[in-house]
Amino acid sequence: MPHSPYNFTQEQLDCEAEREWPVFIYSILITFATLFLMVLLYKMLAGCCRKVFPHSPADTQLGSSSFSSEIQEWAEGITSGQTPSGRILVVAVFFCNVVAMVLYVIDTSRQLLEECITWEEHITLQIDFALGAIFFLHFLLRFVASDKVMSFLFALNTIVDIITLPPLFLSLWIQRTWLGLRFFRFLIIFSLPDVLVYVRLLQNSSSIRLTQLLSYIVGFICWSGGFLFLLENQGDPFHHYENAREKGSFRFGDNIWFLIITA
């Protein structure tokens, strides 16, 4: 059943009433558009260089041992999970994602969808920012390791980072948070079977397939719960948010409960 609303302060309610959430959406769109244009420009320049300066087999062989190629091979070994250090990194990043999911659930249970806060007042924001820095560094590693930049741009991990990281960093600048699309981090649950394979907890194909199925179900339910939480608490912007739920009356856990019992 829905919970009783919290006694939010008038300052919190006035801040949410300003409705500046489109700024966070713009940050996501600008980030994606910038990366997409950079990738297109890089591919165009690379294609022009190959036509103007065709490489001989000897040049190709020498280029493969260049410093940039060695950096790419190192990054690929780190992010692929094929080496001991790579497996540690994969497990550590997945654990950080789990912590970010827990922080999202905590924030949905005790604060409004949109709030004015400062860095010193919000411990979960501090932890989330530290995790965001780790995710950004991992993003850069995966970018360096990618052979096909366009495929990297549309990979699941990249899409999750693009949707969740720009609003996080923007919130520190404007001193305002929006829970909004942070639930996209739950999609990382889909990669749980890979992590378990890396740590050798899964070895036979049947257990891997079963874990994949369960991870898809759990990840989709959690993602759907976050999506419904956003819709129910945000309200319809075209009708002045009049159909939004009463503040604090409908939480993330309520969405998960209704999704499970109605599945």
> Which tens digit of pLDDT belongs to each residue from 29-80?
999 999 999 888 887 887 787 777 665 454 444 444 465 677 777 777 777 7
Closest CA to 22 of 185, 148, 167, 172: 167
Does residue 15 have a pLDDT over 80? no
Q: What is the pLDDT of residue 93?
A: 94
Q: What is the pLDDT of residue 68?
A: 65
Q: What is the pLDDT of residue 133?
A: 95
Q: What is the pLDDT of residue 4?
A: 45
Residue 18 DSSP SS3 = coil
d(CA 231, CA 180): 9
DSSP 116: E
- 255 vs 56, higher pLDDT: 255
- Residues 233-262: what's their mean pLDDT? 77
Q: What is the pLDDT of residue 84?
A: 80
d(CA 41, CA 63): 21
Q: In sequence order, what are the residues at sequence separation of 6 or more whose Cβ sits closer than 8 angstroms to the Cβ of residue 256? A: 221, 222, 225
How many Cα neighbours within 13 Å face the side chain of 131? 25
Q: What is the pLDDT of residue 20?
A: 83
SS3 content of the chain, % helix, strand, coil (to 5): 75, 0, 20
- Residues 159-182: what's their mean pLDDT? 91
Burial of 148 (0-12, 13-18, 19+ CB in 10 A): exposed
Give 160's pLDDT tier (boundaries 50, 70, 90).
Answer: very high
d(CA 167, CA 180): 9
Does residue 192 have a pLDDT over 90? yes
Tokens 């856990």 appear where?
253
Give 213's pLDDT tier (boundaries 50, 70, 90).
Answer: very high
Does residue 142 have a pLDDT over 60? yes
- Residues 250-262: what's their mean pLDDT? 84
What's the chain's average pLDDT? 83
Q: What is the pLDDT of residue 61?
A: 45
Does residue 236 have a pLDDT over 80? no
Backbone angles phi, psi at 118, to 5 degrees: -120, 165
pTM: 0.84
- 136 vs 124, higher pLDDT: 136
Q: What is the pLDDT of residue 159?
A: 95
Q: What is the pLDDT of residue 110?
A: 77
Q: Yes or no: say if 222 and 183 are a contact pair by the CB < 8 Å rule.
A: yes
Q: What is the pLDDT of residue 239?
A: 72
